[in-house]
Structure 1
Amino acid sequence: MGSYREEKEIIKKEQENIGRTWIACVWSFLVSMTGGLTLGWWEYKHHPTNSQLWMVPFSLILLVTPVIIWFSVFSSAICDSRGGESQRVTSLNNSVCDPER
């Protein structure tokens, strides 16, 4: 059993992680929204003349990139076979690839 202080620190860390996740979600939503609005503005203003074509790939990149990133983050968390445990990095002291040998 942990002490009250340890439990309080764990709760504080969890709240910080939730806050960081929300901030990342809001930023990615804003980036995606910027891409959609840029594409809409191009459609409204420049599409009849086919001018300012640089706006199309720029806005599509902004629109789709956050979705791809969130999909990869969530799918890697779901497919984690160890249930969320962090990976351990082992030392190279006794390995064949040890550069010190």
Structure 2
Amino acid sequence: MGSKSVTTEIEKREEEIKQFYHRIETVEKALRLRELTPDQRTEFEKELDLLKTVLKNNEEQLKSLQKENYKTGFIAMALIFICFLVYGLQVMFWNKSSH
């Protein structure tokens, strides 16, 4: 998975998580403030449980994607460092041999 697609997936997960939190807040408010029949209350409670489960899964996937993104960034930085190190050593030894 490329860095661009990981970043896109992270943004997508963050947006989904935000929507789940909003819906959970709405359902909890309905359970607290509205007069509901027992069937309505049961349906809202089932939806709330489902939302929390899906939210937990999305948050775990987001953490995994963020780790993957961190690893990719770390590897890129390590490669850049190695390139500069090799270049520095080459310049240092090349200058020594030309004197």
Structure of larger gyration radius: 2
- TM-score of the two chains, using structure 2 as the length reference: 0.46
Higher relative contact order (Cα pairs below 8 Å, separated by 6+ residues):
2
More helix by share: 2
